[in-house]
Structure 1
């Protein structure tokens, strides 16, 4: 966090709209990327992003330490995304009974970000959501289970299934 951003937060608390505009410009792309990984829908992600920023700016007085703004905002964004997922009833299949053996080996090839991003977008909703929350956002399976109202076991199996699907998609991509 820069001194300028800290100053903007202090100005935002005083009602300065230009400070809100500047903070939005600095943080919106990263927050949008978080939402697109959760929802896999550009329009929904844009709407949720706006809602999250409005909520953050309305509640800016709840933020005690301006240096914590990024993490505080990200929490609001993720919570907004999770609320949306709960309302849209994303289906989380409990696949633990499947006798699939998932290899933990990592392929030696370098995978470009766009290829990986595209492969993640193609995952089933439940797998993509759990993968994004666990791997990219750092949530523990217990937290994911509580947030999504699923069992911890379902979260873990969705994650393993997502990794296997990704591995298969990426191997298939590099065979061509």
Structure 2
């Protein structure tokens, strides 16, 4: 992201903020989609994310890491939304994963993994995203979600097994 554009955003230039929004909205929407199923929740979290980005931009010392910083805000907002709706449950109950062949049939190759993530329970999906996609270590995940490292590891293992099962059973 251009430093000049970010400085203009810090000065509350609405045109600059619109340009940043246009550049980042698609990427941040994709991040939110990995954590949340409901489009309304995603839109709400995305709005909250951009609000925090624009109101806290003066706290960012290095404009070169803007995109990483913005993505981290989006992830934190998603986790906060999951916690606030109490849907971030951690469970090893395999019966929580429900899927039908008709839903699986509609997957396209490019979107397979992201769509399959929707078949995982919320907490399990969040841990998979944080570890496998975002690159957080189990210790940080445990702190973010107020769980033990062991729970984080077991949920990641559970998610991997279920995703593998979905891929194998449906020839994806």
TM range (shorter): 0.7 to 0.9
Count of residues in Structure 1 that have an aligned counterpart in Structure 2: 157
Q: Is the 8 A contact 2:32 2:42 kept in 1?
A: yes
TM-score, length basis structure 1: 0.83
Q: List structure 1 runs of 4+ shifted beyond 6 angstroms.
A: none
How do 1:26-37 and structure 2 match up within 5 A?
A: 26-37=23-34
More moved, 153-162 vs 119-128: 119-128
TM-score, length basis structure 2: 0.85
SS of the residue 1:59 aligns to = helix
Which has the larger Rg?
A: 1
Q: Is the 8 A contact 2:6 2:63 kept in 1?
A: yes
Give unmatched runs, 5+ long, in structure 1. Answer: 96-110
Q: Are 1:153 and 2:153 counterparts?
A: no
In 2, the alpha carbon distance for the partners of 1:73 and 1:119 equals 25
Give unmatched runs, 5+ long, in structure 2. Answer: 94-107
State the partner residue of 1:84.
81
In 2, the alpha carbon distance for the partners of 1:137 and 1:56 equals 19
Q: Is the 8 A contact 1:48 1:80 kept in 2?
A: yes
When the two chains are superposed, the root-mean-square deviation of aligned CA atoms in Å is 1.7
State the partner residue of 2:166.
169
State the partner residue of 1:64.
61
